[in-house]
Amino acid sequence: MNILVVGGGGREHAIAYSLSKSPLTKKLMVAPGNPGIETFAECYPIPADDIDGQCKLAKDMKADIVFIGPEIPLVLGLKDKLSEIGINAFGPSKEAAQLEGSKTFSRNFCKRHNIPQPNFKYCSDLKTAKDQIELLNGYCVVKADGLAAGKGVVVCDTVNEAIEASTQMLEESKFGDAGKLILIEERITGIEASVFAVSDGNTAILLGTAQDHKRAYDNDQGPNTGGMGAISPAPALNEELNKNIFNNIIMPTINGMRSDGIPYEGILYAGVMLTDQGPKVIEFNCRFGDPETQVVLPRLSTDLVEIVHNTVTHNLENASVNLINNTAITVVIASKGYPGTFKKGIELPSLNKFDKQDDILIFHSGTAKNENENLISSGGRVLSVTAIGENVQDCRQKAYNTVEEINWDRGFYRRDIGKV
Ligand code: AMP
Ligand code: GLY
């Protein structure tokens, strides 16, 4: 099969790497890709959100399947546009991607289908927001409705904090149109975990679990980031909780979307909080997580192309997914200053010497090449260093040994990924 992967970060590197190992892959293309991916796949410099450009590439290169990595092209309707020209895409339609693209859509959907979640109220004016904030004594979470690159969520302790966050979103357009409508949610507590399932619209299968480390610094200090590292399986989950989440969150979502006339196909990522009353949905994402993919896919022993093919042909019913009974940890090396301002274009050490290790995978998140063909940084998160091992301790040792050997003094990383 000719497969095109849309995207160019660490997640897409991990996706492309898994697809490249399948005997079913004839030609592997990635757009835009990155220098790590181009060592084993053809890369085309087309941005992930250039919907017309991606459709043209898929058609010109005779792609049989397009695997859409990031949320933006999904929310912009890339899958629908590809369907119009007769190309199968792995990922939800524009309408179904609203589960991630609109927090009010997703909260209303869960309410309608009795899927456990925090109480919420949506507000388009400050007066309604203030009333709700006072009702919750300021102990609440203020969220912009639309996509805000993970930044449109403010977890509040006091009435003043919550009013300030609501004012910035509703009256000062801090997140543009994404914050014209906001949600004020009950603040719930518990351990968080990411659960990944794949669905063809009818059946769903659990693909794996992970725990993301979102804060920038050790011991969960500092600002929120896209994710500074991850571990799979999620240490807080077990067989029983996985079943609970599958039966009470994943399947009701897939069934609810189908009965609402918006069948959900592709990856469903449920961000859950394990509360005293059981798991509740914090958010849904309509794609794989970054950096969670860098720990979930290396544990997969089932052929990823088979899973993707069974999904787009609505044949998951008779399929199964197997994971290796091991652990994976990924440590993100980020540019100093991230998630605030940071410099790009800084040279990185050569990574060639790590190529031959089976239990270490270095995924490129934000890298490019300069005019001398040397590797440079091009983003906040630069590399994800994944180690696969028998247990957490073994993985941590291998991952951190590699990070120290890379020794990039213009970057920083958390030292407590996977620490229990
Ligand atoms: P989100 O972008 O919706 O995943 O939110 C980012 C982070 O905010 C989550 O990972 C949680 O730590 C926190 N959060 C979001 N909603 C809630 C809530 N209702 N109660 C407590 N924490 C929340
Ligand atoms: N690591 C969080 C996400 O991918 O949304």
Measured in degrees and rounded to the nearest 5, phi and psi for residue 287 equal -160, 175
Nearest atom (ligand 1) to Cα of 212: 10
Q: Could you say which ligand is closest to the alpha carbon of residue 9? A: 2
* Strands 375-377 and 367-369, bridge-based pairing: antiparallel
Max Cα–Cα distance, the chain, nearest Å: 60
Which residues fall within 8 angstroms of residue 157, CB to CB, at 6 or more apart? 138, 139
Query: Could you tell me if the CB of 212 is within 6 A of ligand 1?
Result: no
Which residues fall within 8 angstroms of residue 385, CB to CB, at 6 or more apart? 330, 331, 332, 333, 360, 361, 362, 363, 399, 402, 403, 406
Query: Could you tell me if the CB of 298 is within 6 A of ligand 2?
Result: no
Q: For residue 80, give the nearest of 67, 92, 71 by alpha carbon.
A: 92
Q: Is 32 within 8 Å of 16 (Cβ atoms)?
A: no
Check residue 148 and give its pLDDT: 67
Query: Could you tell me if the CB of 100 is within 6 A of ligand 2?
Result: no
CA of 95 to the centre of ligand 1 (A): 23
Q: Could you say which ligand is closest to the alpha carbon of residue 71? A: 2
Q: Could you say which ligand is closest to the alpha carbon of residue 271? A: 1
Query: Could you tell me if the CB of 206 is within 6 A of ligand 1?
Result: no
Measured in degrees and rounded to the nearest 5, phi and psi for residue 185 equal -110, 150
Q: For residue 301, give the nearest of 318, 323, 316, 329 by alpha carbon.
A: 323
Tally of residues, the chain: 420
How far apart, in whole angstroms, are the C-alpha atoms of residue 230 and residue 251? Answer: 25
Query: Could you tell me if the CB of 314 is within 6 A of ligand 1?
Result: no
Check residue 170 and give its pLDDT: 85
CA of 154 to the centre of ligand 2 (A): 16
Residue owning the nearest CA to atom 4 of ligand 2 = 289
CA of 155 to the centre of ligand 1 (A): 7
* Unique residue bearing structure tokens 């543009």: 176
Query: Could you tell me if the CB of 380 is within 6 A of ligand 2?
Result: no
Query: Could you tell me if the CB of 212 is within 6 A of ligand 2?
Result: yes
Nearest atom (ligand 1) to Cα of 118: 19
Nearest atom (ligand 1) to Cα of 189: 21
Check residue 92 and give its pLDDT: 98
CA of 360 to the centre of ligand 2 (A): 22
Which residues fall within 8 angstroms of residue 322, CB to CB, at 6 or more apart? 300, 301, 302
Nearest atom (ligand 2) to Cα of 230: 1
Query: Could you tell me if the CB of 71 is within 6 A of ligand 1?
Result: no
Q: Which of 282, 283, 287 to mutate to test the pocket of ligand 1 (most atoms within 8 A of CB)?
A: 282
Check residue 144 and give its pLDDT: 86
DSSP 249: I
How far apart, in whole angstroms, are the C-alpha atoms of residue 219 and residue 155? Answer: 18
Residue owning the nearest CA to atom 3 of ligand 2 = 289
CA of 185 to the centre of ligand 1 (A): 9
Show pLDDT as tens, one digit a residue, over the chain (420 residues): 999 999 999 999 999 999 999 999 999 999 999 999 999 999 999 999 999 999 999 999 999 999 999 999 999 999 999 999 999 999 999 999 999 998 889 999 999 999 999 999 989 888 999 999 999 999 999 998 877 666 688 899 999 999 999 998 888 777 777 667 899 999 999 999 999 999 999 999 999 999 999 999 999 999 889 999 999 999 999 999 999 999 999 999 999 999 999 999 999 999 999 999 999 999 999 999 999 999 999 999 999 999 999 999 999 998 989 999 899 999 999 999 999 999 999 999 989 888 878 899 999 999 999 999 999 999 999 999 999 999 999 999 999 999 999 999 999 999 999 986
Nearest atom (ligand 1) to Cα of 150: 2
CA of 60 to the centre of ligand 2 (A): 32
Q: Is residue 32 reached through a cis peptide bond, with omega within 30 degrees of 0 on the bond before it?
A: yes
Q: Which of 292, 365, 381 to mutate to test the pocket of ligand 2 (most atoms within 8 A of CB)?
A: 292
